[in-house]
Amino acid sequence: MAADSMEIDDALYSRQRYVLGDTAMQKMAQSHVFLSGVGGLGVEIAKNIILAGVKALTVHDTKQCTKWDLGINFFIHEDDITSQRNRAEATLHRIAELNPYVHVAASTVPLDETTDLSFLKQYQCVILTEVSLLLQKKINEFCHAQQPPIKFISADVYGICSRLFCDFGEEFEVLDTTGEEPKEIFISNITQSNPGIVTCLENHPHRLETGQFLTFREVNGMSCLNGSTHQITVVSPYSFSIGNTSDMEPYLHGGIAVQVKTPKTFYFERLEKQITNPLCLVADFSKPQAPLQIHVAMLALNHFEENFGRRPNVGCLQDAEEMLKIAMSISETLENKPQVNGDVVKWLSRTAQGFLAPLAAAVGGVASQEVLKAVTGKFSPLQQWLYIDMLDIVTPLEKMGSEEFLPRGDRYDALRACIGDSLCQKLHDLNVFLVGCGAIGCEMLKNFALLGVGTGQDKGLVTITDPDLIEKSNLNRQFLFRPHHIQKPKSYTAAEATLNINPYLKIDSYINKVCPATENTYSDEFYTKQDVIVTALDNVEARRYIDSRCVANLRPLIDSGTMGTKGHTEVIVPHLTESYNSHRDPPEEEIPFCTLKSFPAAIEHTIQWARDKFESSFSHKPSLFNKFWQTYPSAEEVLQRIKSGESLEGCFHVIKTLSRRPRSWTQCVELARVKFEKYFSHKALQLLHSFPLDTRLKDGSLFWQSPKRPPFPVKFEFNDPLHYGFVVSAAKLFATVYCVPFTEKDLSEETIFKIISAVKVPEFRPSNKVVQTDETARKPDHIPVSSEDERNAIFQLEKSILSNEALENDLQMKPISFEKDDDSNGHIDFITAASNLRAKMYNIEPADRFKTKRIAGKIIPAIATATAAVSGLVALELIKVVGGYPADAYKNCFLNLAIPIMVFTETAEVRRTEIRNGISFTIWDRWTIYGKEDFTLLDFINAVREKYGIEPTMVVQGVKMLYVPVMPGHIKRLKLTMQKLVKPSADKKYVDLTVSFAPETDGEEDLPGPPVRYYFVQEDN
């Protein structure tokens, strides 16, 4: 992002722009940041803020690279250790490569008690990692005292504990605390009272909070509200009060209330003061005292280090006792005198020399977002401490001897000090399947490399798959990719880049989707070989499918996802937890067909209409056209067949397209101009013909009232950029699908003006077509063709054949696939122009190209900070899964870095379904029946009864009903063999069936049972 021109490189930053907005992006591109400490946490923060796009970053470090760093810093390589490079200098070019727009410099000068800190005045934000507490206090005092204050962040990871502290000065103003779109609420009523009560349209809850501000527009009757702003008090989910309305005119109809974002000031205290009375974010509500307990433990560690000039020795009980004494005395000096948690202190002491790289990824993600808040004023800052501990990981290791944790002189010593050698070995021997190599996938591979996943000598393998190629917009978050990788497969490239972090990793890369069509590759046998599956996907459908495969094969699954600053992680463990499919999010609300077609009320409706028009005109119709002429290769043959009374599917529309086919650039422009008239003038006139402005419903109320907006025809003006833009973009797309060449000269204003001036625009003729007003009605699949249309088709086709306009080339079109990220293809230009013209016709606030692209392209806003945090949390849960931990050790997480919140919850315990007579099952149970060649359906039913004590009354295979007694002919099936009923392929050894059982009392529904795996022949085990 060039800071001087301040133009944002949308191809690179588009997903992040939707998170931060342009104002914040531009502030960021002018900011200078100083980061001290390029260890495992420092490099995480550097990566994230460089990807985000600050103007300049100085990385400072005085330490040399060691073997230890290989397991914590993904940008330090073996040759940096042999060359004895400084950590800042070793990583400089590798982090600078992440974003060409960011100037990165390294500093290796000492930073200590004697340093003159005035050099920090050139920075807007200072981040300290691996800095003593005394020096942190000194630098914080300096930063806080500046005018304006330099924003100060300190962050540390010691063993199983992490700490993050923010001080943005006495007062820090935030213009947008959440980053959420302002809510728009359609109004159905406003009372004339004190206070006035505003009611929303039914089934549309307002989701507002008391104290928020709203402004009003388009209110009929109580029109003095329009343009005014009111603070609200929530009355119910569908109503709120706005102050005295008793002296206003009575409310008639309509009106929209729009949320107004108001600035908020946050107040900060210095580090020195906050140490004695800390304000902490609580991440785990089951342990509300934990932040203060970790606060005391980490202060005790800092004091231990000051007193002894070292950290406590790995696994040393004597040092742990000494640290506990220090913690007790520190607690007495704090305002709240918090209780000391002996376990936290002991484990922090035992692991303090170690380092959990995934914990650094999680904290680094949060810390980086705080840096972005500091330099942009966007989102609510952390006040003022965040503590996260991984006591869950080490508590089960209590009985291990201290030798388990001692260093062995390899790259995993920092990890070993935290989790012991046995668990390290299990990680090395792990077979893991990672689905998706996008933003979360790249971060996961980095975590795998640092943990040594899949590096075992005899065992262990990381299998990855992703069908996508790398796009420029990926480079902003998917940090394993560089510009020269664009258009290369993600999985192959990610695998190669991961080997740079840890060359001992064994990786298999695939480029297929994981779906029913690829079950030959990702078979049951494949899943059974995996120890754990990790998903890094961006859609629910794929998650549901992979979850079902994991349940069927009893494999653990760790899922995660992000949307903007929000993220989630979910751990699914066989026999312990519910699965992903156990809970269902409410389905996305679809826009009713009649709203899209005739009654849009919001810009989202006009954008979807324009997107549908694009799909229909430039993709769907051309595809059907091609398909038709592939089925019937000659126009003469089609003419003969329809003349003889044959009905050929789709023929009427195909002939209509052929007869109107533009054959020159001039005709493409003419067609676009006629479409303008049809869409934005005739459509409005037709609706007003069908429903004049004074139309009333049966109850006497006006037809045209909120949310229905009456349309008004748009008169074409050549000099209006929106009108001109629509015609040119539509003409270019028509030229593409109809294979009509055009030149730069054809696109000149002069040429376009000349063509448009000569166009004979058809006059509007009202029709008696019925306009759909029922919101529950769906789009009809087929519009019937009248006999007159059929006669017309014969005439048109004869005419085309006679004029030599139905030759082989004429029977081909070039369908266009919608591509949102290529700005040169004109797709978003067309949709923006079409959407905004329709918005103008209905008096709806238009949207710029940027917003239109997000909605039309269904773009998920994304930022590297949330991705890094989420993947770190997943890798921490992976360690627990590998260790075979009990159910209460696992944690799901929801986070929103904007607010900020981070909530850890226990996983949902698996539900047990009772059938009857003490027979029960969970989603993880599977019954098995072994058959033989002549085994009948009756034999199968009897075998289930004998083995499990209950007789099935219904047998289903997927969606195919094998045996439902009430279905005609199904009783006869009892004698058929299972081979005949199921028809397995030659290599299929078994089939998964679903069985149901008769209810205890008549009239009730059948009782569902667990899946039954039926083997066609006895296994040799």
DSSP code for 886: -
Q: Euclidean distance between the first and final Cα of the chain, in Å?
A: 64
Closest CA relative to residue 886, chosen from 285, 396, 388:
396
Alpha-carbon torsion angle 99, 103, 104, 106, nearest 10: 170
Provide φ and ψ at 749, rounded to 5°: -60, -40
Provide φ and ψ at 954, rounded to 5°: -150, 140
DSSP, collapsed to helix, strand or coil, labels residue 895 as: strand
Helix axes 827-841, 603-615, angle to 10 degrees: 130
Annotation says 65 is catalytic: no
Q: Which two tokens stand for residue 524?
A: 């049951």
Quote the CA–CA distance of 825 and 737 in Å, as a whole number. 12
DSSP, collapsed to helix, strand or coil, labels residue 913 as: strand
H/E element, 323: helix 317-333
H/E element, 931: none
Q: How far is CA 685 from CA 552, 608, 708, 914, in A?
A: 58, 22, 16, 63
Provide φ and ψ at 567, rounded to 5°: -155, 160
Q: Return the sign of the alpha-carbon dihedral for residues 861, 865, 868, 873.
A: negative
Q: Which residues pair with 902 in a beta bridge?
A: 895
Q: Which residues pair with 58 in a beta bridge?
A: 34, 105
Quote the CA–CA distance of 832 and 883 in Å, as a whole number. 53
- DSSP labels, 453-499: TT--SSS-EEEEE--PBP-GGGGGT-TT--GGGTTSBHHHHHHHHHH
DSSP code for 618: I
Quote the CA–CA distance of 875 and 361 in Å, as a whole number. 9
Please count the other Cβ atoms lying within 10 Å of the Cβ belonging to residue 850.
16
Alpha helices in 377-409 (DSSP H): 391-394
Q: Which amino acid does the sequence have at 659?
A: S
Token pair 């074409």 is found at 716
Token pair 């009272």 is found at 193
- DSSP labels, 759-778: --PPPP----PPPP--TTPP
Q: Please, are residues 878 and 534 in contact by the beta-carbon 8 Å criterion?
A: yes
Provide φ and ψ at 747, rounded to 5°: -85, 0
Alpha-carbon torsion angle 791, 796, 801, 806, nearest 10: -120
| Active-site entry in 418, 424, 594, 651 | 594
Q: Please, are residues 903 and 896 in contact by the beta-carbon 8 Å criterion?
A: no
Instruction: Spell out a b/e string for 391-414, using b for 16 or more CB atoms within 10 Å of the CB, else e.
Output: bbbbeebeebeeebbeeeeebbbb
Helix axes 651-659, 621-631, angle to 10 degrees: 110
Q: Which two tokens stand for residue 482?
A: 């560089």
Q: Which residues pair with 883 in a beta bridge?
A: none
Q: Return the sign of the alpha-carbon dihedral for residues 334, 337, 338, 339.
A: positive
Please count the other Cβ atoms lying within 10 Å of the Cβ belonging to residue 465.
22
Instruction: Spell out a b/e string for 611-643, using b for 16 or more CB atoms within 10 Å of the CB, else e.
Output: bbbbeebbeebbebbbebbeeeeebeebbeebe
Please count the other Cβ atoms lying within 10 Å of the Cβ belonging to residue 579.
22
- DSSP labels, 991-1004: EEEEEEE--SSTTS
- Positions marked active-site: 594
